[in-house]
Amino acid sequence: MYNKKTLGIFLFAVALAGTAFYGGFFYGKSQVPSIYAIEGVGNKTLGEPDNMDFSLFWDAWKVIQEKYADRANLNEKEMVYGAIEGMVKSLKDPYTVFMKPQEAKQFQDDVSGSFSGIGAEIGIRREILTVISPLEDSPAQKAGLRAGDKILKINDTVTSDLTVNEAVGLIRGSKGTNVKLTISRSTEDELKEITITRDDIKIPTIKWELKNDKIAYIQLFNFGQTAPSEFRNKVMVVLRSPADRIILDLRINPGGYLEVSQDLTGWFVETGSVVAIEDFGNGTEPKEYRSSGNSVLKGMPLVVLINEGSASASEIMAGALRDLRGVKLIGAKSYGKGSVQELTNLREGTSLKVTIAKWLTPSKKSIMNEGLEPDIKVEVTKEDIENMKDPQLEKAIQTVSSLNK
């Protein structure tokens, strides 16, 4: 989830491996000195911690420079980037990510709300590249990609060793070109190949419609920068309509800015209510985030739809509404992305997104990796999808209709 200084929405070496196989391993006759000058590399000790000894790193660097067979084509900048990526990968946290200049620019493009690709949020879940949610009306959704699908191959590239950024780089491409994803789906025995035609992607925010003459059905697709103003405009329309109760649909919503979740939750609860708690886990006092909306919807009966594509800010909002108002959550278990990342812009256009805390609901429940269990669980079957039925929405309509004002 993001806030403007602290980011946590999206989802996202030097791994130095020594392999000794005695039959064909050549052990160098001379030892590399622990201290030496390395030509052409600047700022080797800038910011170096007092208690760290980087001599092993520079030993390895020196050996590569002196003995690597294709020394003429060594790219020292890429070696430094690789070293940082390895350091980050050692944390085993899929949301802590180092981004090279192009990846950093791509990330900012995502946040701005428009880009070219297939329109799906992806992340690493249990070490497998997984679809968090396809975006509404996106090529991915139209091609049949679903939240929870495990992406095993992108075209002919196996994804097991890819970072999220590397996978995104392979999936994206020019408008009108195709990408083939090989996926595993929990409800099906065989692997599926889905071919998706890339297109310009504009991330939708919100839409609503009146159901059964009195239910405002509001679909919120993300917690982006424009969501507060767009939500406010829709609320004004809802308040002028015959609607006297609300279904808030947070399914297939991968999250967004923290400030936005505070703002939108505030429409449904008392102003100043605790929406989320930031737990740093290192003895630091937890930080509370409070609602900032104007509470005009707090008296309207409400239910919330969630599923495995509900992540980050959408989980915060759903958890807060349940804790603060006893709102029923209907659908399927949410994704479980309950951590907060801080984005730091580094030199040369690079960026580092690092996990600094985890989110707790107002009742201090952690959703990290666990997700939110719905109060009313409703499964969507393959037959439901084929027949364009939505039993979760049907249950939400039934439930909210039975609530007293």
Domain containing residue 327: CATH number: 3.90.226.10
Q: Out of 273, 323, 328, 339, pick the active-site residue.
A: 323
- The reply to whether 310 belongs to the active site is no
pLDDT confidence of residue 237: 96
Distance CA 226, CA 207 (A): 13
In a domain, 45, yes or no: no
Q: Answer yes or no: are the C-beta atoms of 210 and 242 closer than 8 Å.
A: yes
In a domain, 105, yes or no: no
In a domain, 248, yes or no: yes
pLDDT confidence of residue 112: 55
CA dihedral (25, 30, 35, 39) positive or negative: negative
pLDDT confidence of residue 132: 87
Q: Out of 298, 337, 353, 395, pick the active-site residue.
A: 337
Q: Out of 310, 312, 339, 351, pick the active-site residue.
A: 312
Q: Of 184, 202, 220, which marks where a domain is finished?
A: 202
Whether pLDDT at 371 is above 70:
yes
* Whether residue 380 is found in the same domain as residue 282: yes
- The reply to whether 337 belongs to the active site is yes
Task: Name the residue among 52, 39, 151, 164 with its Cα closest to residue 106.
Answer: 164
CATH number at residue 139: 2.30.42.10
Ranges 60-64, 101-105, 224-228: which has the least confidence: 101-105
- What torsion, rounded to 10 degrees, do the Cα atoms 283, 310, 109, 219 define? -130
Range of the domain at 271: 206-401
Count: domains in the chain = 2
pLDDT confidence of residue 334: 95
Q: Of 145, 180, 202, which marks where a domain is finished?
A: 202
Distance CA 252, CA 261 (A): 16
Q: How large is the average pLDDT for residues 315-338?
A: 95
In a domain, 158, yes or no: yes
* Whether residue 122 is found in the same domain as residue 264: no
pTM here is: 0.72
Q: Please, which pLDDT band fits residue 41 given cuts at 50, 70 and 90?
A: low
Q: Of 164, 185, 202, which marks where a domain is finished?
A: 202
- The reply to whether 323 belongs to the active site is yes
* 95 membership: H or E segment, kind and range: none
Position 109, amino acid: D
pLDDT confidence of residue 18: 24
* Whether residue 148 is found in the same domain as residue 241: no
CA dihedral (36, 37, 38, 44) positive or negative: positive
Q: Answer yes or no: are the C-beta atoms of 246 and 215 closer than 8 Å.
A: yes
Rg (CA), the chain: 24
* Whether residue 348 is found in the same domain as residue 271: yes
In a domain, 17, yes or no: no
Tens-digit pLDDT profile for residues 266-290 = 999 999 999 999 998 878 899 999 9
* Whether residue 164 is found in the same domain as residue 288: no
* Whether residue 231 is found in the same domain as residue 156: no
Tens-digit pLDDT profile for residues 154-213 = 999 999 988 887 898 899 888 999 999 999 998 888 999 999 999 988 777 899 999 999
φ and ψ of 115, to 5 deg:
-170, 175
In a domain, 54, yes or no: no
Whether pLDDT at 101 is above 80:
yes
Whether pLDDT at 341 is above 90:
no
Widest Cα–Cα separation across the chain:
85
pLDDT confidence of residue 303: 98
Mean of per-residue pLDDT scores for the chain: 84
* Whether residue 193 is found in the same domain as residue 219: no
